Chain A
Amino acid sequence: MNEKLLVNPIECEGHGACAELLPELITLDEWGYPIVDPRPIGPGMERHARKAVSACPTLALRLLRG
């Protein structure tokens, strides 16, 4: 599948839900904005990634097919 996470930095308001649900791939910077692992999502993580995407209150997080 080779999916990747992509955050739209204009839409993102730093709610932090993504980092809470997916700490393996997303950490927060010192201002609360997500730092997303740019590599393709590893096997077994897709379900968690999808959850993080749907939990974003501003729909700023997306999954892109590599």
Chain B
Amino acid sequence: MTAVTSQEFSDPASWVPGAGELPRLLPPAGAGKQAQDLMTHLARYGRLPYRERTGTLINDLEAAGLTGRGGAAFPVHRKLAAVLAAADRRRKIPTVIANGAESEPASDKDATLLWLAPHLVLDGLQLAAEAVGAQTAILYTHADREHDVGKRLQQALRERHAVGADRVPVQLALAPPRFLAGQETALVSHLAGGPAIPTFTPPRITERGLAGAPTLVQNVETLAHLALIARRGPGWFRAVGTRHEPGSMLATVRRADGRPRITEVPLGMPLRDLLGDPQPESAVLIGGYHGTWLPAARAAALTLENRSLEPAGARVGAGIVISLPADRCGLVETANAVRYLALESAGQCGPCLNGLPRMASAFAELAGGRPRPQTRADLERWAGLVTGRGACHHPDGTARFVRSALVTFAAEADRHERGRCSATSARPFLPIPTSSARTAEDWT
């Protein structure tokens, strides 16, 4: 289990609007790393507030301004409203899916949440099902890297069954250990018995998803927030965060020691408070391997919200913030991750199938000794060619990551062209899964 901290920043009251207390989702500081059982959960949060009708929760979610915490930050109320409307129009009973298939290797927040606070996620799943009129619910997760989360979730479901907490039966489903397994259309394909690879939309899955039913897919952290908004209301939710991006979020933070820390922070938190003072000549990766490298000094001036990050070319995403130690080579680290991304392509779309391996190979050349001057121009061109041309956003995210590395590590690339490298440690820093073999069975 990774370290869980609640408030590492010094004086939150000085800049957080309102008097909201954190953590909300994770156990309070001092509670240890034990999973919360149903009794502990109910003592802390109170009973599950069913609304006894579809739809009413959607208004509260709109007032709260909750956005998806899986990375895309899509307004949650709009997704629920779309599913409800499609269900009415097409006279189909919708399906609700909690997505815990956290596939970014650098993220550990969903696994941590599912382990420590499974009941909050399961509450959210029930309430979301009620809000759209669903009668089946599925919780889709990876096998946890360190814990038997499946067993923990079965135990949580048994506890709930014993007291009749759930109105909609919940099925557990396991995602294959692939980067794209959590992508919405890949998830629907897998749950329908096919491979966990993306399909081409339209129609959107909110219209026609699993077994043709309108399908709501929400990240597990999103559902946990939803469960608390249902209990405490939109005003409470907005007591932390910013006016435009309210609430708290889970972040996976890696500083120089490389150890992931899962921390619950308000949106709008200064990155300097998350990471400490910037080391000169160092860099920060925001958003994981579909994310953006920024020079550490630039990142230190930004806050964890899209209004601050987007002008710098970054996004909050799923809350991955990584500080690269100054003794490592950003080009080598990026090359390792790009190779992983290329191996994780589903290989369905021509531009991704052709472009990503070429980008991986060119980046490996850039990371090694004496790259050709042409290599960076090739990378730029291929990044442009793959963007917007896949069935999913895998090529787009990979291109964003590559381009940001070319900018942030430009001086280092100059050094490499002269046969030098500023790194003094060759030990890999970014976490890269080892099993990237690509066979048909891997996807199912």
Contacts and interface: CB of A to CB of B under 8 A. Distances in A.
B155 interface: no
Contacts of A32: 350
Interface string B347-369: 01111101100000000000000
A10 B353 CA distance: 11
A14 B200 contact: no
Contacts of B319: none
Given A31-B350, A31-B351, A33-B350, A9 B391 contact: yes
Contacts of A33: 350-351, 354, 389
B443 to A, nearest CB: 14
Interface of A: 8-14, 29-33, 35
Please provide the 7 A-B residue pairs with the shortest distance between their CB atoms, ordered closest to farther: A9-B349, A33-B350, A31-B354, A10-B348, A8-B200, A10-B391, A10-B200
Interface in B335-353: 348-352
B200 A29 contact: no
Contacts of B348: 9-10
Contacts of B354: 31, 33
A9 B391 CA distance: 6
A32 B351 CA distance: 9
B385 A29 contact: yes
18 contacts: A9-B349, A9-B350, A9-B352, A9-B390, A10-B199, A10-B200, A10-B349, A10-B391, A11-B200, A12-B350, A13-B350, A29-B351, A29-B385, A31-B355, A32-B350, A33-B350, A33-B351, A33-B354
B372 to A, nearest CB: 18
| Residue among B350, B352, B389, B390 with max Cβ neighbours from chain A (10 Å) | B350
Given A9-B389, A10-B348, A29-B351, 10 more contacts: A8-B200, A9-B348, A9-B350, A9-B351, A10-B349, A10-B391, A14-B350, A31-B350, A31-B351, A33-B351
A30 B381 CA distance: 11
A30 B199 contact: no
Secondary structure of the A side of the interface? loop
A11 B348 CA distance: 8
Nearest to A31: B354
A55 to B, nearest CB: 18
A34 B199 CA distance: 19
Contacts of A31: 350-351, 354-355
Contacts of A35: 389
Nearest to A36: B389
A11 B391 CA distance: 10
A11 B349 CA distance: 8
Interface in B365-388: 385
A31 B355 CA distance: 9
A49 to B, nearest CB: 19
Contact of A30 (B385, B389, B390): B385
A10 to B, nearest CB: 5
Nearest to B355: A31
A11 B350 CA distance: 9
A12 B391 CA distance: 11
A42 B382 CA distance: 29
A58 B401 CA distance: 32
Nearest to A30: B385
Contacts of A29: 351, 385
A15 B200 CA distance: 19
Contacts of A9: 200, 348-352, 389-391
Contacts of A11: 200
Contacts of B350: 9, 12-14, 31-33
Interface string B191-225: 00000000110000000000000000000000000
A10 B350 CA distance: 8
